[in-house]
């Protein structure tokens, strides 16, 4: 048996229920891990609300976690009982113990704690595919990152800065502006009181930026296009404000032959070799202290509903953990 947080129907944070569930022995290719930390991510709220439909209900939420291997099923190589491991994208994370495919795991190096791993794998690997693969940031670029004080935003700001970019970021408060600035954001913009399009044009002397990384969605999408230089790229990778409404793709031509991509982490780490390589790059930067991971909030797993409420109310910054 294990304890987990499930939903039996979609809706607000109140649909999250902490309950006891049966747990079978790990099957072929699987391991059982005792989780020590679970990452909270905006995609969890999309699954809970029904914005991203789940295959079936009831369902255990969550995609990211870390812990210790307790049992190994048949046909598993490279993972042993007692190993410290983490994973960035495996449904069913909101549990004290769980089974999952060994191929989804990465072993944690010395110097990377379980809590650090659970607070950085999904967000950090998202930042990796953003600045290294969706649009490859080069020295001398000026980039715009929305939600620069969020979990992904803070990592992406530091990574882009490490690559030699000038970083512009939107934030919701003076406190978050200071936080973003301390994590590589050269020009924080308080979007509630400033026109971020105008500020981007001012900072770039009218040129615009070659890339916008947008996790906000509906509220920022069209104005993000206005921030781009000709031939610029909008990387739309989230929708915390809601889904982007259908639009005439001729807008991309009119605004300067722009590129638009809607990537997901699952595609970029679908191959085992890609997962390992991306994780190693992330771990190396963190161990070198080129990227700092801020775990700024923790909640008991049983209080997942409160954590979801705070996340959706924009009362969090950096990474948030649920602790079994």
Tens digits of residue pLDDT in 227-254: 999 999 999 998 877 788 898 999 999 9
Residues 86 and 144 in one domain: no
Distant-in-sequence, close-in-space partners of 147: CB < 8 Å, separation ≥ 6: 153, 169, 170, 171, 215, 216, 240
Asked if residue 282 is part of any domain, the answer here is no
Helix, strand, or coil here: 254? helix
pLDDT single digits (tens) 62-97:
999 999 999 999 999 889 999 999 999 999 999 999
Percentage above 90 pLDDT, the chain: 88
Please check whether residues 60 and 104 belong to one and the same domain: yes
142 and 249 in a single domain? The answer is: yes
Number of domains making up the chain: 2
Q: Are residues 135 and 206 in the same domain?
A: yes
Q: Cβ atoms within 10 A of the Cβ of 121, count?
A: 29
- Residue ranges making up the domain that contains 146: 123-265
Task: Please identify, among 224, 250, 265, the residue that sits at the C-terminal boundary of a domain.
Answer: 265
Please state the pTM of the whole predicted model. Answer: 0.90
On whether residue 273 sits in a domain, the answer given is no
CATH number for the domain harbouring residue 234: 3.40.50.720
Whether residue 88 lies inside any domain: the answer is yes
Return the HEC string of 69-119.
EEEECCCCCCCCCCCEEEECCCCCCCECEEEEEHHHCEECCCCCCHHHHHC
Together in a domain, 220 and 248: yes
Q: What is the pLDDT of residue 190?
A: 95
Same structural domain, 151 and 249: yes
Q: Are 149 and 122 in contact (CB under 8 A)?
A: no
Asked if residue 165 and residue 217 are part of one domain, the reply reads yes
pLDDT over 90 (residue 12): yes
What's the Cα-to-Cα distance from 14 to each of 6, 8, 175, 306, rounded to whole Å?
A: 11, 11, 29, 9
Q: Answer whether residue 15 shows pLDDT above 80.
A: yes
Residue 285 falls within a domain, yes or no? no
């Amino acid at each position: 048996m294990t304890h987990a947080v499930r939903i039996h129907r979609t809706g607000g944070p109140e649909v999250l229920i902490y309950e006891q569930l049966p747990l079978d022995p790990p099957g072929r290719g699987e391991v059982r891990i005792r989780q020590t930390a679970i990452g909270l991510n905006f995609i969890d709220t999309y699954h809970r609300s029904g914005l991203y439909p789940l295959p079936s209900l009831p369902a255990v939420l969550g995609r990211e976690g870390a812990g210790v291997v307790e049992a190994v099923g048949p046909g598993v190589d490279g993972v042993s009982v007692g190993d410290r491991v983490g994973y960035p994208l495996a449904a069913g994370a909101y549990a004290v113990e769980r089974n999952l495919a060994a191929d989804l795991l990465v072993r944690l190096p010395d110097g990377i704690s379980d809590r650090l791993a659970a607070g950085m794998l999904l967000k950090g690997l998202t930042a990796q595919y953003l600045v290294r693969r969706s649009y490859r940031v080069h020295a001398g670029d000026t980039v715009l990152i929305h939600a620069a004080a969020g979990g992904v935003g803070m990592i992406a700001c530091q990574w882009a800065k490490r690559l030699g970019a000038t970083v512009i970021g939107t934030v919701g408060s003076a406190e978050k502006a200071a936080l973003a600035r301390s994590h590589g954001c050269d020009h924080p913009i308080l979007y509630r009181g400033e026109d971020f399009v105008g500020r981007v044009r001012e900072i770039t002397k009218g040129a615009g930026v070659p890339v916008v990384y947008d996790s906000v969605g509906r509220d920022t999408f069209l104005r993000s296009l206005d921030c781009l230089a000709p031939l610029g790229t909008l990387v739309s990778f989230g929708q915390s404000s809601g889904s982007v409404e259908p639009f005439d793709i001729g807008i991309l031509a009119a605004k300067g032959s722009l590129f638009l991509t809607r990537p997901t982490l699952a595609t970029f780490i679908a191959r085992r070799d890609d997962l390992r390589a991306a994780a190693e790059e992330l771990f190396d930067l963190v161990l070198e202290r080129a990227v700092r991971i801020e775990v700024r909030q923790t909640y008991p797993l049983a209080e997942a509903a409160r954590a979801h409420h705070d996340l959706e109310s924009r009362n969090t910054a950096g990474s948030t953990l649920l602790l079994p």
